[in-house]
């Protein structure tokens, strides 16, 4: 191999090693996630109950004459699922906008090995 090729290969290897050392020296960026302990669960439970009642009434009204019971049960299950999701989302939104009376910060690692700052917020 000519001398110039040796110099190019040596420079490429040095650059690769230097770049790898720089990447290893930079710590992984942490991201923050907020978890509401009280408000989210309370609204989720309320949404489940209200959704089950509304879904049961709607399922009973829509179902045929011979299948009122099945329509009520299916409507209640569907309504509970939709109400639970709506309550969960509503609680999450309320949590980020409200003042927390207490918060707790925990540093964890996620499934990809990144640092995660988890803030548990207690909102009434």
45-81 pLDDT, tens digit per residue, is 999 999 999 999 999 999 888 888 899 999 999 999 9
Q: Say what the pTM is.
A: 0.53
- Cα-Cα-Cα-Cα torsion 68, 73, 79, 82, nearest 10 degrees, comes to -140
Please give the sequence-ordered ranges of beta strands (E in DSSP) within 1-83, or none if there are none: 31-36
- Burial pattern 33-57, b for ≥16 Cβ within 10 A else e, equals eeebbbbbebbbebbbebbbebbbe
As a whole number of angstroms, the distance between CA 9 and CA 6 comes to 5
CA 25, distance to chain mean position in Å, is 30
Whether 9 shows a pLDDT value over 90: the answer reads: no
Q: From CA 26, how far away is CA 14, in angstroms rounded?
A: 19
Q: What gap in Å lies between CA 106 and CA 102, rounded to an integer?
A: 14
Quick check: 108 and 96 in contact, CB under 8 A?
A: no
- Give yes or no for residue 21 having a pLDDT over 50: no
């Amino acid at each position: 191999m000519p001398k110039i090729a040796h110099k190019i290969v040596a420079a490429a290897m040095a650059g690769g090693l230097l770049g790898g050392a720089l990447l290893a020296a930079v710590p992984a960026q942490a991201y923050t996630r907020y978890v509401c302990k009280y408000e989210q669960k309370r609204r989720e439970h309320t949404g489940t109950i209200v959704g089950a009642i509304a879904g049961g009434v709607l399922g009973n009204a829509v179902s045929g004459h011979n299948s009122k019971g099945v329509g009520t049960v299916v409507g209640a299950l569907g309504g509970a699922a939709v109400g639970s999701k709506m309550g969960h989302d509503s609680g999450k939104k309320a949590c980020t906008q409200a003042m927390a009376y207490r918060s707790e910060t925990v540093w964890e690692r996620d499934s990809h090995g990144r640092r995660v700052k988890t803030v548990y917020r207690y909102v009434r």
